[in-house]
Amino acid sequence: MMRRLVATIAALVVGAATAVAADSPLGAWKTVDEKSGKIVSEVQVYDQGGKLFGKIVRLTEPTDANGKPKLCTKCQGADKDQPIVGLIILKGLSADGDRYKGGTITDPEDGKVYKSELWREGDTLRVRGYLGVFYRTQTWQKGN
């Protein structure tokens, strides 16, 4: 009887952990151009010290017209003129219920930094950047 109870509790704990992991935003995500519908990049979302960060690990078109790696020429500070592949674009998001908030996202196209939040919706990751009261939400697809 006791073994059955322990086995049942263990199964519930493993099942709950699996459910939480399934809703986790950690892992690889493909960013999609909203106009063309084509995949632009792959971002690896990871935990560092209890906060989420996201690094661009692959670009569909990683080089410029001269065959050189694309750089974040419009970025400010330490990110200025850094290769876009390897650039940390999501920074410092903390769990807040079923969402992650309180961090920022950098747009390598224009170099602007926006307040950010993200959350899972099924097999997609919704990533929202805020500029004051205005916002734009992207849908990222699960990567490999």
Tokens 């990567």 belong to which residue? 143
Please determine, for residue 72, whether its predicted confidence score (pLDDT) is greater than 90. Answer: yes
- In 3D space, the residue among 127, 143, 137 whose CA is nearest the CA of residue 60 turns out to be 143
Please determine, for residue 14, whether its predicted confidence score (pLDDT) is greater than 50. Answer: no
Please determine, for residue 16, whether its predicted confidence score (pLDDT) is greater than 60. Answer: no
pLDDT tens by residue, 33-69: 989 999 999 999 999 999 999 999 999 999 999 999 9
DSSP 107: -
CA angle 25, 31, 132 (to 5 degrees): 80
Q: Per-residue confidence at 144, pLDDT binned at 50, 70, 90?
A: confident
pTM of the model: 0.83
Domains, the chain, with CATH or none: 26-142 (2.40.128.520)
pLDDT tens by residue, 85-124: 999 999 999 999 999 999 999 999 999 999 999 999 999 9
End-to-end CA distance of the chain: 43
Please determine, for residue 126, whether its predicted confidence score (pLDDT) is greater than 60. Answer: yes
